[in-house]
Structure 1
Amino acid sequence: MSQGTHFQRERTMYRFTAREVTVTAVSHPVETFARVTLGGPDLHDFVSTGPGDHAKIFFPHPFTGELVAPTAAGPGEDGINRPDGQTFARDFTPLNVRDESEGRVFDVDFFLHDDPGPASAWAAQAAVGDRVVVVGPRGSQSAPTGVGALLCLVDPTALPATVRLINELPLVTDIEVVADVDYDALDWVEAYLREGTGRDVLVREPLGGLDQALLDSEVSPGTFVFAAGDANRLIPLRRVIRDELGLPREQYQISGYWRSGEANFDHHGPIDPADPESIED
């Protein structure tokens, strides 16, 4: 296989709109995650085919319960009407998009924090019939082709995307996950990945940080590197990818999902505040 056929990815764009959905089921794939299934007529044309897809979910006000969220621009139209007033929204990975007897549904897995924000607190109490609004995804980027091995360096918030990526790759692909968690959490990370992918995945902790974990890993020309989670933890990792390993841009994907100490972090912004060009996702 030539280098030119490695890591090719196709982009597909979708109608960008707001969809009101309801909770149809709640479960726990592992104790540390709540899986909320969302459905409703507005999902009839909902599409998500890329492992890195994200949809913005708007939640009710954590104290008043009022749901302030965008609305669709119009039936079949592209675009949204933005609301007046404070909103509570976060980006999540859609999982298991499927058609059931009552229509299209998908799952969202919420990591249950010890100090929960609005999304995690909502998920911990979610019940069938609860309403939220989903905006996006704007489009999908397919899994990379020609991947011989996959190295994921992720914290718990990126495990759903890790599951999607693993499921898009051939079973013969070598998979290794560096989980940015304490050692005693590795068992539930392994259990979550096993439940989501149906395979036993090698999981280890990042001794010395994610940057050192990457340096300690074998990254061959056929290895695709996926890194996501707390943007602060990704800054030194990104520098290793760029300055020490010199990986070509198509060989890795790095995305800051959140930033410790910063509310309402925009994952479309720079990972490294000192480097405005560090917009990698």
Structure 2
Amino acid sequence: MHGIVRTVDRLTPHLTRVVLGGEGLADFEPSPFSDSYVNLALAPPGAPYDMPCDLDEVRLAVAPEHRPVRRRYTVRAWDPVARTLTIDFVLHGHGGPGEGDPGVAAAWAAAAAPGDVLQLTGPGGSYAPDPEADCHLMVGDESALPAVAASLERVPAGAPVHVVVEVDGPDDELELTSPGRLAVTWLHRNDHPGAVDLLVAAVRALELPPGRVHAFVHGEAGDVRAVRRHLLLERGVDRSTLSASGYWRRSMTDEAWRAVKREWQAAVAAEA
């Protein structure tokens, strides 16, 4: 499955939106999850083939350094009438904010232009706001914004929903909307150089209504781990109502983080 780039728009200094269309998306079927994602296949520089390709054949035929690189990205929107797929890309740092290595998918998005081809598989997913929850909480950074924005659209009308997002500065804020009773806290890391506890401190300071909290905590791995511990051990949030995942890791390249992510997830899951 593949899409042809229709439009590319810079939403903020560090977030760009790519809209895909074309007959290569004819078989795309949306998932029921609001954190729905697709797996992108990107040819590394110097690859001796064009995209789209037969991924299995290419994997067997070329050297490891030329094999397609796979990256997972949130489906920001799917238009079933126009049959267009929208994906938002963070444009800096280790697959996440504030670091030096942009990652192969971010580099692709930074150079994307109408007519370019993007191969993908999926979608998958695991989270959607529970309509029976008493309160919704969504926490993360730029890398989680597409999933947060898509999930906010699925919160029941009038339901309390608190969002806490860390970004570089005011220019990186997005307009977020929801049928729910929305409260948004923006944290600017450039105002606190070197600080690594902005998210957990902000979540700890929140006054949540009584009842069952459905939480979505995604973004930098250390922040996710700290917020998860707080929610489980200090707030008493039920593990079954908490979706938590580290998308990237400070001081690690995209590849280095992918190599240890499974082990990290297992260690975090065993904590509480």
TM more than 0.5: yes
Q: Report what 1:43 is aligned to.
A: 25
Q: Quote the Cα distance in structure 2 between the aligned partners of 1:231 and 1:38.
A: 29
2:250 pairs with 1:269: no
Q: Report what 1:27 is aligned to.
A: 9
Task: Check 1:155–1:278 CA distance in 2 against 1; reply closer, same or farther (3 A cut).
Answer: farther
Q: Is the 8 A contact 2:158 2:180 kept in 1?
A: no
* Letter matched to residue 40 of structure 2: I
Q: Report deviation, 1:22.
A: 1.6
Question: For residues 36-86 of structure 1, what are the alpha-carbon distances to aligned partners after superposition, in whole Å with 9 as ceiling and x for unaligned?
Answer: 1112323223122311111111123245585577748xxxxxxx7772343
Task: Check 1:93–1:139 CA distance in 2 against 1; reply closer, same or farther (3 A cut).
Answer: closer
Q: Quote the Cα distance in structure 2 between the aligned partners of 1:28 and 1:197.
A: 26
Q: Quote the Cα distance in structure 2 between the aligned partners of 1:142 and 1:181.
A: 23
Structure 2 unaligned runs (5+)? 94-99, 189-194
Q: Report what 1:257 is aligned to.
A: 247
Q: Report what 2:35 is aligned to.
A: 52
Q: Report deviation, 1:229.
A: 0.4
Task: Check 1:209–1:141 CA distance in 2 against 1; reply closer, same or farther (3 A cut).
Answer: closer
Question: For residues 190-224 of structure 1, what are the alpha-carbon distances to aligned partners after superposition, in whole Å with 9 as ceiling and x for unaligned?
Answer: x3425x98997522328843223222122332332
Comparing 230-239 and 139-148, the one that deviates more: 139-148
Q: Is the 8 A contact 1:179 1:186 kept in 2?
A: no
Q: Quote the Cα distance in structure 2 between the aligned partners of 1:279 and 1:44.
A: 43
Q: Report what 1:166 is aligned to.
A: 152
Q: Report what 2:187 is aligned to.
A: 205
Please, which of 77, 88, 104 is the counterpart of residue 96 of structure 1? 77
* Letter matched to residue 148 of structure 2: T
Question: By percentage of residues, which structure has more helix?
Answer: 2
Please, which of 178, 203, 207 is the counterpart of residue 164 of structure 2? 178
* Letter matched to residue 108 of structure 1: I
Q: Is the 8 A contact 1:176 1:202 kept in 2?
A: yes
* Letter matched to residue 33 of structure 2: G
Task: Check 1:202–1:26 CA distance in 2 against 1; reply closer, same or farther (3 A cut).
Answer: same
2:211 pairs with 1:221: yes
Task: Check 1:198–1:216 CA distance in 2 against 1; reply closer, same or farther (3 A cut).
Answer: closer
Please, which of 90, 104, 118 is the counterpart of residue 118 of structure 1? 104
- Identity, % of aligned positions: 26
Q: Report deviation, 1:107.
A: 0.4
Q: Quote the Cα distance in structure 2 between the aligned partners of 1:214 and 1:163.
A: 18
Q: Quote the Cα distance in structure 1 between the aligned partners of 2:181 and 2:53.
A: 39
Comparing 201-210 and 213-222, the one that deviates more: 201-210
Q: Quote the Cα distance in structure 2 between the aligned partners of 1:57 and 1:211.
A: 31
Q: TM-score, normalised by structure 2?
A: 0.77
* Letter matched to residue 92 of structure 2: H
Q: Report deviation, 1:268.
A: 6.8
Q: Secondary structure at the match of 2:147?
A: helix
* Letter matched to residue 34 of structure 2: P
Q: Quote the Cα distance in structure 2 between the aligned partners of 1:62 and 1:198.
A: 45
Q: Is the 8 A contact 2:138 2:215 kept in 1?
A: yes
Q: Report what 2:192 is aligned to.
A: none
Q: Quote the Cα distance in structure 2 between the aligned partners of 1:68 and 1:258.
A: 26
Q: Quote the Cα distance in structure 1 between the aligned partners of 2:131 and 2:180.
A: 21
Q: Report deviation, 1:125.
A: 1.2
Q: Report deviation, 1:20.
A: 2.2
Q: Quote the Cα distance in structure 1 between the aligned partners of 2:180 and 2:7.
A: 22
Q: Quote the Cα distance in structure 2 between the aligned partners of 1:198 and 1:81.
A: 47
Q: Is the 8 A contact 2:2 2:52 kept in 1?
A: no
Q: Secondary structure at the match of 1:109?
A: strand
Q: TM-score, normalised by structure 1?
A: 0.74
Q: Report deviation, 1:181.
A: 2.6
> In the comparison of the two structures, how many residue pairs are matched?
248
Task: Check 1:198–1:111 CA distance in 2 against 1; reply closer, same or farther (3 A cut).
Answer: farther
